[in-house]
Amino acid sequence: MLKIIAVLLLLLVVFVVLYAIRNLSYDYSGEKFRKSRAFSLGLKEKQFYLNDGNVINYVEGPNNGSAMLLLHGQMVDWKDYRFVLPELIKDFHVFALDYYGHGKSSKNPDLYNIERIGSDIALFIQEKIGSSAIISGHSSGALIAAYIAAKYPENLKAIILEDGPFFATEKVRAESTFSYKTFQNIYNYLAEKPNITYFEYYLNNDPMRALFNKDGKDNWNKIVAKPAMKIFRKDMTKIPIIWYYTPKLGVNTLLQLTANLQDKTGDYDLRFGSTFYDFSFFNCIKQRELLKQIHIPTCIFHVKPPKNTAPSYYNEEGILISAMDEKDAKLVKELIHGSILVEGFDSMHNIHIEKPKEYLKKVIEFLDDIDELKIIGENT
């Protein structure tokens, strides 16, 4: 009996160790992809230098087809596309860049507006890609893609707007969104200049707490804040990974999104986020007018309502949890002449990460339809 108990205990220990190793070794930030897989796939990291000394960091894949430019969402960088890059580079000449304030690109608040970022990326397209480029932009990257399509369409073939926060990032409307409360938290941290890291400030103040805390219970503190801070205090140079949470739960991924330049835990400049709080990112650009100016083939990707608030995109307090609600998505389609709306992605927001196969399938279908229409037009 003692031998049986000893064997069972040994098996349990082995299981826990393997479980912990799996959770700790998961590539939450994409850095392991950059070091181990990017080179083997033929991706080369490069820099595009502008005349004024600013730098756009990007990776370029083999020339296997039409040029596709990938624009990530906020708080991440080009590595955010690591789940779809291996497939995309088979059929496309892929360029994935870090726009200003992110990754290895320039960090300067004077650059953090849609006009400057959009015009410099348009120059990048002109000089490094050439004509007939396809842009797929996610979240803030979708806003930038729309701007480029409206103002600099001459070198573009089509754009894909992946769950962009259209209209919900404008004054009056923005204040009732979950994302705006996160940007407000960033703005307040930079304004208050507390004698703690942003990571600590985030754990104490971020609106994400409300999604965890139910029925008066402080689940956020128990599940996230306390165990994260216990690890972080041991090494404040990197964002902690809580060993007993699987990647699927998303807790460690959530923590990784707090990596930032100010704490020296990452490359994201918090000052970029604050421009979405004071609306300086848009530089008085009106999104409705901008979308009306787009006249190239456009596909809009939109997610389902979050599971914790379904069938609505709003919580009980009327706060928008998603980037867009159903009315926003339909309005984007109406404003962009001839655009296509693809709805129903079972994703919180980041489709190419959470549902890579569906993302790839819909991208290919959209681009195949464009090519088919072009052939029909040429034949008639």
* Residue keyed to tokens 């196969």: 357
**Looking at the domain assignment, is residue 336 inside a domain?**
yes
Candidates 96, 101, 144, 150; CA nearest to 293 is 150
Backbone φ and ψ of 175, nearest 5° = -60, -15
Least confident of 90-104, 332-346, 365-379: 365-379
d(CA 146, CA 294): 7
d(CA 7, CA 70): 51
**Looking at the domain assignment, is residue 351 inside a domain?**
yes
The DSSP secondary-structure symbol of 118 reads: H
Q: Which residue has the higher pLDDT, 340 or 309?
A: 340
pLDDT over 70 at 27, yes or no:
yes
Under a CB-based contact definition with an 8 Å cutoff, are residues 296 and 304 in contact? Answer: no
d(CA 366, CA 185): 38
d(CA 129, CA 84): 20
Grouping H, G, I as helix, E, B as strand and the rest as coil, residue 3 is helix
pLDDT over 50 at 199, yes or no:
yes
What number is the average pLDDT over the span 177-194?
96
Under a CB-based contact definition with an 8 Å cutoff, are residues 16 and 63 in contact? Answer: no
pLDDT band, residue 213 (cuts 50/70/90)? confident
pTM for the full model?
Answer: 0.94
**Looking at the domain assignment, is residue 187 inside a domain?**
no
Under a CB-based contact definition with an 8 Å cutoff, are residues 247 and 19 in contact? Answer: no
**Looking at the domain assignment, is residue 227 inside a domain?**
no
Q: In the prediction, which pLDDT does 374 show?
A: 58
pLDDT over 80 at 349, yes or no:
yes
Q: Which residue has the higher pLDDT, 299 or 207?
A: 299
What number is the average pLDDT over the span 104-113?
98
Q: In the prediction, which pLDDT does 376 show?
A: 46
d(CA 310, CA 228): 29
**Pure H helices in the chain:** 2-25, 31-32, 85-91, 114-124, 140-151, 178-192, 198-205, 208-212, 219-220, 226-232, 251-256, 270-274, 287-292, 326-335, 351-354, 356-379
pLDDT over 90 at 102, yes or no:
yes
pLDDT over 50 at 227, yes or no:
yes
- Please provide the average confidence, as pLDDT, over all residues in the chain: 94
How many domains would you assign to the chain?
Answer: 1
Under a CB-based contact definition with an 8 Å cutoff, are residues 138 and 162 in contact? Answer: yes
What number is the average pLDDT over the span 260-265?
97
Which CATH number do you get for residue 150? 3.40.50.1820
d(CA 273, CA 74): 8
- In sequence order, the 6+-apart residues with CB closer than 8 A to the CB of 258 are 198, 199, 202, 239, 265, 266
Grouping H, G, I as helix, E, B as strand and the rest as coil, residue 303 is strand
d(CA 65, CA 68): 9
Least confident of 8-17, 144-153, 227-236, 362-371: 8-17
* pLDDT tens figures, 326-346: 999 999 999 999 999 999 999
Under a CB-based contact definition with an 8 Å cutoff, are residues 144 and 156 in contact? Answer: no
Length of the chain: 380
Q: Which residue has the higher pLDDT, 6 or 161?
A: 161
Q: In the prediction, which pLDDT does 13 show?
A: 77
**Looking at the domain assignment, is residue 83 inside a domain?**
yes
| Percentage of the chain lying above the pLDDT 70 cut | 98
Domain that holds residue 53: 38-170+279-379
Candidates 288, 98, 258; CA nearest to 186 is 258
Under a CB-based contact definition with an 8 Å cutoff, are residues 67 and 89 in contact? Answer: no
| Percentage of the chain lying above the pLDDT 90 cut | 85
**Looking at the domain assignment, is residue 258 inside a domain?**
no
**Looking at the domain assignment, is residue 48 inside a domain?**
yes
pLDDT over 80 at 379, yes or no:
no
pLDDT band, residue 373 (cuts 50/70/90)? low
**Looking at the domain assignment, is residue 125 inside a domain?**
yes
The token pair that represents 155 in the structure block = 């070198």
Candidates 291, 332, 278, 294; CA nearest to 112 is 278
